[in-house]
Structure 1
C-alpha cells in the first residue's frame, strides 16, 4: 500500500524548490515546485499547508507521523 512517510514530509519541509508540493506520481511520492503540472501527478500537500498543520511547532516525528497517517488515508480514499 502506498504511504506518505515522515521522510516524505521532511523532504518537503527541507526542499530548496520555490513553493514545493508533495505529489503522488508513478506510484511514489515526489517533491515538485508548485504548478509543475507533471502528467498524472496528484497533489498531496504543499509546504505551506504542512507548516500550517504544524502550527509553528518544530517538526517532531510524532507530529509528522500523525500528519503522514492522515495524508495516507486521504490519498487512499481518493484512489491514489
Structure 2
C-alpha cells in the first residue's frame, strides 16, 4: 500500500499539497505530524489527510472532492 498526504485549504478552496511516500509509512506519518504542527494556527481552515491506496489515480476517484473543489462547499452542508 502506498501512502499519500493531502493538504487542503478550505478558506482558499484549494488543494495545497499532494505528497506521495510509497510504502514508507514512517516517513508519511512524520510528514503528517510536521504538517499538523506547521498549520496548527489554521486548523479551522486547513485539512490534512493521510490516505493509503494503491495509486494516486484511485485517490482522485475515491477522494475526488479534494481535487474538484467540492470539499470546500461540502462542509457547509454538514449540519443539514
TM-score (norm 2): 0.36
TM-score (norm 1): 0.36
